Amino acid sequence: MPHFERRAVPGDTHERAVCTQCGFVSYENPKVVVGSVVVHAGDVLMCRRAIEPRRGYWTLPAGYLELGETCEEGARREAAEEAGADIALDGLLALFSLSRIGQVQVIYRARFASGLPRFEAGVESLDVRLFGWESIPWDEIAFPSVHWSLNAWRRVGDGPLGVPSGNAAADPRGTRPLPGGEGL
């Protein structure tokens, strides 16, 4: 097991996690989450999570950007993995900072690449569905940023994308968990 300790590192402005056994410096920087609001005929594609955290709750196809990917490629990969969907991105819908959990979220508006609503639950999803705005399971949303993304889509609709949405006004630093949620 690694044994990390916070230590000053020469030439660096911040203390870092250094393994006391092998000297490895773990530069723990925020991670990028890429995701999409996939819209078809006014409905939005949502996934019911098969994994923790928030198993059983509904989210958007999204996940960690991997090395070697662009944000756009990552968003398309996540839609394929979690929702079995081949999507085309319209453009950037929102950019969120969740400072509490060390995430930057890059959210696109997207559609099905073929124009046909083809999707299926991937291994990380219990269910995948298209919801009209009124039928979105609002009481079973996995994360605050899912609310934020849906609201950003609601504001812009199918119209031209402009300045991307930022954090919700009530949580400018991304520090509030979802009431009743266990984090994230």
Q: Which residues bind to a second copy, rule: CB under 8 A?
A: 1-3, 13-14, 19, 21-24, 26-32, 64-73, 81, 91-92, 95, 97, 99, 102, 104, 106, 161-164, 166-167, 172-174
Angle at 34 between CA 128 and CA 40, to 5 degrees: 40
Q: How far is the CB of 79 from a second copy (least distance, A)?
A: 14
Strands 31-40 and 103-112: parallel
Residue 137 pairs in a beta bridge with none
Q: Please, which residue, 69 or 140, has the CB nearer to a second copy?
A: 69
Q: Please, which residue, 3 or 139, has the CB nearer to a second copy?
A: 3
**What distance in Å separates the CA atoms of residue 57 and residue 119, rounded to the nearest whole number?**
18
Residue 80: phi, psi to the nearest 5? -70, -45
Q: Please, which residue, 5 or 135, has the CB nearer to a second copy?
A: 5
Q: Please, which residue, 136 or 153, has the CB nearer to a second copy?
A: 153
DSSP 14-71: S-EEEETTT--EE----EEEEEEEEEETTEEEEEEESSSSSTT-EE-SEEEPPTT--H
Q: How far is the CB of 63 from a second copy (least distance, A)?
A: 9
Q: How far is the CB of 111 from a second copy (least distance, A)?
A: 17
Q: How far is the CB of 104 from a second copy (least distance, A)?
A: 5
* 16, 6 contact by CB (below 8 A): yes
Q: How far is the CB of 160 from a second copy (least distance, A)?
A: 8
Q: Provide the token pair at 63.
A: 């996940």
Q: Please, which residue, 27 or 180, has the CB nearer to a second copy?
A: 27
List, edge to edge, every strand of the sheet that includes 25-26.
4-7, 16-19, 25-26
